[in-house]
Structure 1
């Protein structure tokens, strides 16, 4: 009987995913649309149905990303790896659906990931070369409710969701002009040293945004910490935690300014109340935290070509050294928008990142090597990353991003002597 119940629930959830997929594809096939090179999504407007549903308060979204990486030199092996992510979502605007004032919105999102890791299989480094790799199964990514409360300046969202959707990253999206997860998303030592989870891992929580002024905003959140559910396919559809160890509370101050050279600045702090094992000891640490600074600033704008500009970004993040294997992250780079007059939506991106292992972890690796009477490699202090990529907007819904990544000291975190690696990559993104 129990197996039958499990089968029925699995079949129901798989049917929901299939239904969402068909909703985003079959109408397009049935429609007589021929503007697939110029429309904003691959599946189009479904003969007008998609636009009508959106007007009525039901908005369907979907996107695909595929990332191929070939290790051309150094690392562990010469070969290629591919990973992909498909995201399907639907948002219900309750104000439109029921004719109510400020009734809020409900968001449902499902993710499916497949593929293999170039970092694990080919290079041996810590910072994932493919940002969409991890958690290779179908899962519920978000089921949340959002609305303004008391005043338009106060926005609240609660439910089951990923922390990084609203905190820890730059709202401008500048960092996802890169394929390496060291840039795209939030600094990875946040999740390495606390209960902060990487997308698409979701947790029960609440997020509050308050507009202090047109330029300043305060963001505060609280999320359940459940390490046993991270990357656990058996928990893919469970909103409740398997084992709660504490609560992680991030607080973030955001400053944005418009004008000739717009910019975005974020400073944040987070604290996880969980008790965790201390690195290099059997004792436990009660609570762990970290802080970060993120910047996206336009530094040049063409006086003669509308849309052509150069933005510089910076990232700094530090995590608790008592329990985090990844103590510091530094990132910086530039993105040129509209590099050529005839390519208004293309980009050129160049970034440099430095991930610093915890000295306690390094000491443990060295002590273990001495105990085993094996040589410990003469390593520098960090894994470093250089990425150069070109974003080619092939159609309004399709972006191709060829890129080169140079990984310096790939074995910095594992304590292995691995040659620097040159990786050739291609990222494909499509709005469904």
Structure 2
């Protein structure tokens, strides 16, 4: 497992979180950058945003590049290096609470996999390591400026410049049917894997906030086990410590200063590829339970633990070539959908359900087999009590009344374009309707429905240099 694409994290305003945890007492809201840019929050960040695995790993190809011979020697010895860069630009020209803003971020991921069977003679054992750096950031509070569930949620908040992303021991056995891993990692490397065209396009805020699945650059102690019943069917269980202090952590902490919770996850997966299925499909059903203390945002009543369910599915439904087995990357049309629901209507997160449904066109031009374009509908519904809380927060901030329903909608168009064998460009644009103030509750006005967009460029430096053939 070489993690070639990073997931990013963001946080809600500290004042907004205080209002949500302690009642509607603050008349106005200040941004995190203004008040608490250098200080960790005292309570769990229930409105933390992130971006998931944005681009799938390119397929294997002939090793090329100035360091190809070195890369082959390292691989023969047992080490596969990983070196990648992601450049992000996000903007909100007309949507949300504060329009006309943008965010720029640069991320560099450095690491690799150590094959212990080659290095030390331990069959089926691999050590995975990855460190992520964020050397250049501009306007990391962009998500708060948009302030809603769909448009602003992808805005990463990254106060630390370096993060341990992965440091685990993975052990396989019984012909790789049994897969066990322990160490520091993030659960969304293994659970709720993206089925949409761009991973962050179908990410659920419920999973990262309510379930406690801290984003990949914010790992925590974990253990998981997966067993493959057949090449297509598998089931998996895992437990992660869910760190209430992220994104102010760097991943190297042995213990945490504030109490953590445990995130328990279990899934069953059916997955096929073009190598075995002319119309491949991927389905995942997952249940989660987090042991953390929950605070109803409206009544401030508390209880322990929260749980919910996730479903994600993707199915190729049409191929112009009729399903020829000799083509590994055909032109194809695929449908996808996700739905995440909370069993707890009084959870601290305040979300009841999130989902997305869309269609992806793979390889629209046969001369460009790795390009794709997708159109999807996205939605997010807050709980009745969280909606009542948002109404009170609006009045407390000096507003004239909160005239937004419980469900927000977005229509999203995105694409992945392979500029070279080592550079992938991923633009997206989304039009929103019924935008809420979930990410920034203490806002006196009504957020504007409008357009948010982003452009991500991922450079696989390791492949460009010939250090890897992936």
For residues 370 and 187 of structure 1, do their structure 2 counterparts lie closer, same or farther at Cα, with a shift above 3 Å needed? closer
Alignment of 1:48 onto 2:77: no
After superposition, give the CA deviation of every residue in 1:250-293 in whole Å (9 maximum; x if it has no partner).
Answer: 00011124422110100010111222323323432111111011
Q: Could you say which residue in structure 2 is the equivalent of 1:281? A: 299
Q: Which moved more, 1:247-256 or 1:359-368?
A: 359-368
Q: How does 1:286-365 map to 2 (within 5 A)?
A: 286-303=304-321, 306=327, 307-319=330-342, 320-323=344-347, 324-365=349-390
Q: Flag structure 2 segments of 5+ consecutive residues without an equivalent.
A: 1-60, 462-470
- The total of aligned residue pairs comes to 384
Q: Is the 8 A contact 2:387 2:406 kept in 1?
A: no
For residues 71 and 283 of structure 1, do their structure 2 counterparts lie closer, same or farther at Cα, with a shift above 3 Å needed? closer
CA displacement at 1:150 relative to structure 2: 5.6
Structure ranking higher on relative contact order (CA contacts 8 Å, 6+ apart): 2
Q: Is the 8 A contact 1:84 1:133 kept in 2?
A: no
**The residue matched to 2:176 in structure 1 has which SS?**
strand
**The residue matched to 2:76 in structure 1 has which SS?**
helix
Alignment of 1:208 onto 2:233: no
In structure 2, what is the Cα distance between the partners aligned to 1:107 and 1:191? 23
After superposition, give the CA deviation of every residue in 1:292-328 in whole Å (9 maximum; x if it has no partner).
Answer: 1100111111217941011111000012221132221
CA displacement at 1:376 relative to structure 2: 1.2
Q: Could you say which residue in structure 2 is the equivalent of 1:158? A: 182
TM-score by length of 1: 0.81
Alignment of 1:242 onto 2:289: no
For residues 49 and 370 of structure 1, do their structure 2 counterparts lie closer, same or farther at Cα, with a shift above 3 Å needed? closer
TM-score by length of 2: 0.75
Identify the match of residue 428 of structure 2 among 403, 410, 413: 403
In structure 2, what is the Cα distance between the partners aligned to 1:97 and 1:279? 53
For residues 187 and 367 of structure 1, do their structure 2 counterparts lie closer, same or farther at Cα, with a shift above 3 Å needed? closer
After superposition, give the CA deviation of every residue in 1:212-259 in whole Å (9 maximum; x if it has no partner).
Answer: 22321011001113212x1114x4421433334332110001112442
**The residue matched to 1:189 in structure 2 has which SS?**
helix
In structure 1, what is the Cα distance between the partners aligned to 2:144 and 2:62? 36
Q: Could you say which residue in structure 2 is the equivalent of 1:26? A: none
In structure 1, what is the Cα distance between the partners aligned to 2:74 and 2:66? 10
Identify the match of residue 60 of structure 1 among 75, 81, 84: 81
**The residue matched to 2:70 in structure 1 has which SS?**
helix
For residues 223 and 128 of structure 1, do their structure 2 counterparts lie closer, same or farther at Cα, with a shift above 3 Å needed? farther
For residues 318 and 63 of structure 1, do their structure 2 counterparts lie closer, same or farther at Cα, with a shift above 3 Å needed? same
In structure 1, what is the Cα distance between the partners aligned to 2:301 and 2:141? 35
Alignment of 1:85 onto 2:100: no
For residues 82 and 410 of structure 1, do their structure 2 counterparts lie closer, same or farther at Cα, with a shift above 3 Å needed? farther
After superposition, give the CA deviation of every residue in 1:401-424 in whole Å (9 maximum; x if it has no partner).
Answer: 233221223334236511112134
After superposition, give the CA deviation of every residue in 1:319-375 in whole Å (9 maximum; x if it has no partner).
Answer: 222113222101111111111132222111112210112221111232455577742
**The residue matched to 2:316 in structure 1 has which SS?**
strand
Alignment of 1:94 onto 2:112: no
Q: Is the 8 A contact 2:151 2:430 kept in 1?
A: no
For residues 151 and 242 of structure 1, do their structure 2 counterparts lie closer, same or farther at Cα, with a shift above 3 Å needed? farther
Identify the match of residue 259 of structure 1 among 259, 277, 281: 277
For residues 368 and 107 of structure 1, do their structure 2 counterparts lie closer, same or farther at Cα, with a shift above 3 Å needed? closer
Identify the match of residue 133 of structure 1 among 146, 150, 156: 156
**The residue matched to 1:227 in structure 2 has which SS?**
coil
Q: Is the 8 A contact 1:83 1:130 kept in 2?
A: no
Q: Flag structure 1 segments of 5+ consecutive residues without an equivalent.
A: 1-38
